[in-house]
Chains A and B, each alone.
Chain A
Amino acid sequence: MGLFDSIRSVLGMRAEADATRAADPEDLFGMSTAYLTMQADLGYDHVGAAALCFSSVDSTDFAETLDEVEAILHAGSEETGTTFRRHADSHGYQWVVLEDSDPEDLVTSIHFAADEFIERGYGSRLLTAVFGFEKDDENVRAYWIYSFRRGAYYPFAPQTGHERNQRVEFKLQSVLDGELGIEDDERYWYPLWPDQRGGHPWD
């Protein structure tokens, strides 16, 4: 924490400033090259899926926004073959899960969906965008999580029994630093534990 942050803490301005910092959906395009680096430098394959996590609002306008998002993704699926599904998790959050063998299309679709939410004034309902990676031979799973509230990425490598593989997270952070805007305060690296053993956070 820098001196400036400390001053803001002491003045009682920090929480508000942090919580209202606007996320930039353009940050999501950082994943395009990150997919290449993950493969070329670290040997991680993508899992063929990425997801957007948000909390819904009980309003007609929000329902229309969701319809709009689905329409956009549906149009996209005809063009690129990216399939999508909606899913509600046990924590009460909604997910849009996208599947495609081309990571470029995943990034584009996630961006389209997030952009639509933000355009319609529901940017504050977006929680995270999650991109999955795996190393088959070592049975390691890792995720890049983009926090819309913090406007920054962080790595998340879950292990069985709610443990985090800190080595993997350290490696991902070290190598992708500079390519992705990474959250430097690790206390914000909140996990998204998968509901099922061996599942993804969005399952």
Chain B
Amino acid sequence: MALSRSRSLLLRTVATGGYVLFGYVAVAFVLYEFAGPFGLLLALPPLALLLALLVFGPSLTLSGVDAVRVDHDDRPTLLAAVDRLARQADVPTPAVAVVDDAEANAFTVGSGSGATLCVTTGLSDALSGDELEAVLAHELVHAVHWDSVVLSVVAFPLLSGRTMFDAAVDVGSQSLYGAVFGLVFVLPLSIAAMALSAPAVYLLTHTREFAADRGASVLTGNPAALASALRSLDGHEPQDEDLRTLGTASAFCIVPPVSGVLPWTHPPTEKRVERLRQRERETETS
């Protein structure tokens, strides 16, 4: 079964991709204009760095978090679930690794058939069977969509800008020449790189998360399981105090026990759950 994607998600991905590619081409053009063919050579080291990031990044990440590769003998139910989902998505089963961490989390490193799905030990403790499957499906869709490659390419200017910024501040504080060089040349460049790429990174990460949620609910056929997984990971508890025990007086001026005040601290989980509600609705009424 092919993974369907909503049009707006596709449109946003294409728009962001176009913007980022335009950025890369624009940089190459500027280099060529100012320094001729030699200018293009200047672009080689960063490109090599990006390539190295793509090639060696996954294994570095895995060893960085002490992820242990598991197979069918170690974690039969976990692997069986991944197998089932991969078959449903019509892709080869990705590698699965477990991180010994009480905090519930899951992530994907690498892309396509070289991807590794990582889950923490805390995740399987925190979630029920079909909730865990929904989270695995979400991660699998990240792998199928090549999200880590896409994100690396898009976020590279942001990361380099950040590194350059730190370096400029560091060098600038050490000598006068360094300060002049850093302030006049590197600092504006790094700020420009960060400012121009940050919106793209923000938009793209959000879009890809929504797309992975959508793909996951298609794979499992159970949007409700993903929604409840997201919520339990977010610490959401259902209201369990009986309406009638609030007391006659207070029952009539029921105000939620805890009330958040700042609207911008609202977790994105609610937005994701809202979209899953739409999926659920489509599933049940179409």
Instruction: Give A contacts to B, CB under 8 Å.
Output: 1-3, 6, 9-10, 14-16, 18-19, 41-42, 53, 55, 89, 91-93, 124, 127-128, 147, 149-150, 162, 164, 166-167, 169-171, 173-175, 177, 185-193
Contact = CB atoms under 8 A, between A and B. Distances in A.
A171 B284 contact: yes
Interface of B: 223-225, 227-228, 231, 238-246, 248, 251-263, 266, 276-278, 280-281, 284-285
A15 to B, nearest CB: 5
B239 A175 contact: no
24 contacts: A1-B263, A6-B262, A6-B263, A9-B259, A9-B261, A14-B259, A19-B253, A19-B255, A41-B285, A53-B244, A89-B244, A91-B242, A92-B248, A124-B252, A127-B243, A127-B244, A166-B224, A166-B238, A170-B277, A173-B277, A174-B277, A175-B281, A191-B243, A192-B244
B251 A127 contact: yes
A190 B261 contact: no
A190 B262 contact: no
Nearest to A124: B252
B254 to A, nearest CB: 6
A6 B261 contact: yes
A41 B284 contact: yes
A170 B226 CA distance: 11
A53 B251 CA distance: 12
Given A2-B263, A191-B242, 16 more contacts: A19-B252, A42-B284, A147-B243, A149-B251, A149-B252, A150-B254, A166-B228, A169-B238, A170-B228, A171-B284, A174-B276, A174-B277, A177-B277, A186-B239, A191-B239, A192-B242
Contacts, number: 109
Contacts of B240: 162, 164, 191
Contacts of B243: 127-128, 147, 190-192
B247 to A, nearest CB: 10
A41 B284 CA distance: 6
Contacts of B276: 174
A52 B276 CA distance: 33
Contacts of A10: 261
A15 B228 CA distance: 29
Contacts of A9: 259, 261
A124 B227 CA distance: 35
A5 to B, nearest CB: 8
A160 B174 CA distance: 69
Pick from A3, A18, A92, A174 the residue with the most CB of B within 10 Å: A174
A53 B242 CA distance: 13
A177 B277 CA distance: 9
A16 B158 CA distance: 47
B241 A190 contact: yes
A91 B255 contact: no
Given A149-B252, A185-B256, A188-B256, A171 B261 contact: no
A107 B281 CA distance: 25
